[in-house]
Amino acid sequence: MTTNNQDLVIGIDVGGTEIKAGFLRGSEIISARRWPTEREKGPAHAVNQVLLAAKEMHREFPEATAIGVVVPGVVNSKAGIAEYSENIGWRDIPFGKLVNEASGLPVGFGHDVRAGGVAESMYGAGKGYKNSFFIPIGTGIAGAMVIDGELFDDPYCGEIGHLDVVSGYMCACGIVGCLESISTGPSIVRIYNEQSDIKLSDSSEVLKAAKGGDALAAKVWQASVDAIAFTLTAYINILAPEIIIVGGGVSKAGRDLLDPIESYFDRRLTFQKRPKLVIAELGDHAGMIGSGIFGLRARG
């Protein structure tokens, strides 16, 4: 994709806590702003916050030729509808129509993780690979599948966080055993705090305690990483990606996350093609950059 003044777009990445918006040219973030999602004030208010971001960004950057918006949950990108969000409470919100009415611009709409996967594939760690898998591990876990150079986009695809890893813990989805119940940042902290007199507040603190000799912390961290590795091994056996890109807050652990996953691969992958395993390059801007890509595609 070439970049020139016709490629100036607005990208909006909506999260449960904040809305990140950027004025973009390709992967270049010319200017960026943030708004609170304020989901505690209700789903309708959170929708209005997204529309506020769209209006204010368009007012500030009238030269933008399109706008992209990505959200979490079950997303029908073709219809432009956020069908369901457990964390924000949305049901059947026609964001494509609403943002177009608010901005007057062509709107590309999609899923936040799939947007991040597209951005990493085009501009980040996955550049040059035809088959990649992007898995951000943060407050939730999902995946974006790029297959033969194209994003696989379906409202229900990529929900790898709900693979049964037999964790024994209840997931927010209502089922026992999901990957999200043991390997998200909040899950790692919760499991440790339930078994320890010491109360920690972040998964990075659990890792720090583990490296400092805390046997419980080491056990909790290893169990969470093993569950991730088990899940990725299943994905490798089914779709054989050339590269797996790990993002999200937990990925800040770097080699302390990647090395034990690599060790698991050593034990479990025999004849399978071994993918490259890397940390995402675009950080928390991936979704925003990906939303800009969706915006450009909507403009045509």
Mean pLDDT to the nearest integer, 18-36: 96
Tens-place pLDDT, residues 50-96: 999 999 999 999 999 999 999 999 999 999 999 998 889 999 999 99
Q: What is the pLDDT of residue 1?
A: 40
How far is C-alpha 182 from the geometric centre of its chain's CA atoms?
Answer: 17
- Kindly indicate the confidence band of residue 2, based on its pLDDT and cuts at 50, 70 and 90: very low
CA-to-CA separations, 147 to 126, 144, 180, 211, 243, in angstroms, rounded = 12, 10, 24, 37, 11
**What residue ranges do the domains of the chain occupy?**
5-111+284-299, 125-280
Give the residue among 16, 17, 31, 18 at the shortest CA–CA distance from 292: 31
CATH architecture for residues 125-280: 2-Layer Sandwich (3.30)
> Residue 36 pairs with which residues in a beta bridge?
18
Is residue 84 within 8 A of residue 73, CB to CB? The reply is yes
Interacting residues of 116 by C-beta distance below 8 A, sequence separation 6+ = 134, 136, 144, 247, 280, 282, 286, 287, 290
Distance CA 67, CA 58 (A): 9
Q: Determine the residue type at 237.
A: N
Task: Share the mean pLDDT of the chain.
Answer: 95
Is residue 240 within 8 A of residue 209, CB to CB? The reply is no
Taking the whole predicted model, whether its pTM rises above 0.85 is answered as yes
Q: What is the pLDDT of residue 172?
A: 87
Tens-place pLDDT, residues 202-248: 999 999 999 999 999 999 999 999 999 999 999 999 999 999 999 99
> Residue 84 pairs with which residues in a beta bridge?
74, 91
Interacting residues of 196 by C-beta distance below 8 A, sequence separation 6+ = 216, 217
Fill in the DSSP letter of residue 275. Answer: P
Percentage of the chain exceeding pLDDT 90: 92
Same fold, 5-111+284-299 and 125-280: yes
Interacting residues of 296 by C-beta distance below 8 A, sequence separation 6+ = 1, 7, 9, 65, 66, 68, 108
Q: At what angle do helices 203-211 and 185-195 cross, to 10 degrees?
A: 60
Q: What is the pLDDT of residue 3?
A: 45
Distance CA 33, CA 21 (A): 5
Interacting residues of 228 by C-beta distance below 8 A, sequence separation 6+ = 137, 179, 183, 257, 261
Q: Other C-beta atoms within 10 Å of 112: how many?
A: 26
Domain 5-111+284-299: CATH superfamily is ATPase, nucleotide binding domain (3.30.420.40)
